[in-house]
């Protein structure tokens, strides 16, 4: 005499008439469908009718990622996604813990046959090199982006407030008040400090560039400082053959 109404497991979102949650609303719908009030005299014994138990709803979680095929090459289409990069564990990093195209030892594609960045190599005509043989953004003739209106590198210009200079007007790394990284605990330039073993100090405890025994670059073939050598035409020697700061004709201090 009675056919139970088919109950959909998905209830409408606006079924909030009695403030019930989803499960309570489902049970309520089943009980209402089983009421014999609409059957009238067709049902002789209403107590003999048993309402069917609510369906058991189970959730099945599918691991869709594990069902996808393994990517092989960059550009493979996997479902709705497109693989733009190769897998990092196999393709991107080399044994030197660098990206393969960025590793000199592995012959990465970023480096040319001269061992330089391809875009920065003058011999290969890299795209970053201008017609004057300089980096394009550092070339004054080409009006590079890093050249300021005063003709200097933008970060090295005091007038432009370059980032290399601190509020005291010194190079940030060499400023003692700012605690620059080039200043050691003895309040000296780290590279020139003997106690700290600076890189500019040789084994003879002299400035490496000025040491004759080490053949410093500031020493000429005559055993003198290049800037003070008359035979080499040093910059400290004026046109009268004297030290520039000692020449009266040149307006020296002495």
User: How many degrees, rounded to 5, is the angle at CA 81 between CA 75 and CA 86?
Assistant: 40
Predicted pLDDT of residue 130: 92
Question: Which neighbouring-strand residues pair with 237?
Answer: 243
Model confidence at 6, in pLDDT bands (50, 70, 90)? very low
Cα separation, 73 vs 84, whole angstroms? 9
* Chain position carrying tokens 């990517």: 71
> Is pLDDT above 50 for 114?
yes
- In the chain, where the domains are located: 112-165, 223-254
> Is pLDDT above 90 for 101?
no
Q: For 142-176, write each residue's pLDDT tens digit.
A: 989 999 999 999 999 999 989 999 999 899 999 99
Q: For 28-86, write each residue's pLDDT tens digit.
A: 554 554 454 444 444 445 555 455 554 444 444 444 444 444 544 444 444 444 444 55
Tokens (6 digits) for 104: 């000199």
Q: For 230-254, write each residue's pLDDT tens digit.
A: 999 899 999 888 888 888 888 877 5
Cα separation, 114 vs 120, whole angstroms? 11
């Amino acid at each position: 005499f009675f056919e139970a109404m088919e109950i959909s497991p998905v209830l409408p979102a606006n079924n909030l008439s009695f403030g019930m949650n989803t499960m309570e609303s489902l049970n309520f719908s089943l009980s209402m469908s089983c009421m014999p009030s609409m059957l009238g005299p067709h049902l002789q014994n209403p107590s003999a009718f048993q309402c069917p138990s609510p369906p058991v709803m189970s959730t099945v979680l599918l691991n869709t990622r594990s069902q996808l095929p393994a990517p092989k090459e960059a550009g493979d289409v996997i479902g709705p996604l497109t693989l733009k990069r190769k897998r990092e564990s196999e393709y991107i990093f080399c044994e030197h813990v660098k990206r393969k195209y960025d590793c000199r030892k592995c012959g990465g594609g970023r480096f040319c046959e001269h061992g330089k960045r391809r875009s920065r190599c003058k011999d290969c005509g890299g795209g970053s090199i201008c017609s004057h043989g300089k980096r394009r953004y550092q070339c004054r003739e080409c009006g590079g982006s890093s050249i300021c209106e005063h003709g200097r590198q933008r970060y090295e210009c005091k007038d432009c407030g370059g980032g290399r200079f601190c509020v005291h007007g010194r190079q940030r790394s060499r400023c003692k008040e700012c605690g620059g990284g080039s200043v050691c605990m003895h309040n000296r330039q780290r590279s020139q400090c003997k106690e700290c073993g600076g890189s500019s100090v040789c084994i003879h405890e002299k400035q490496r560039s000025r040491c004759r025994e080490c053949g410093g670059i500031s020493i000429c073939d005559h055993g003198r400082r290049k800037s003070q050598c008359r035979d080499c035409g040093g910059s400290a020697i004026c046109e009268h053959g004297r030290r520039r700061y000692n020449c009266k004709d040149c307006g020296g201090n002495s």
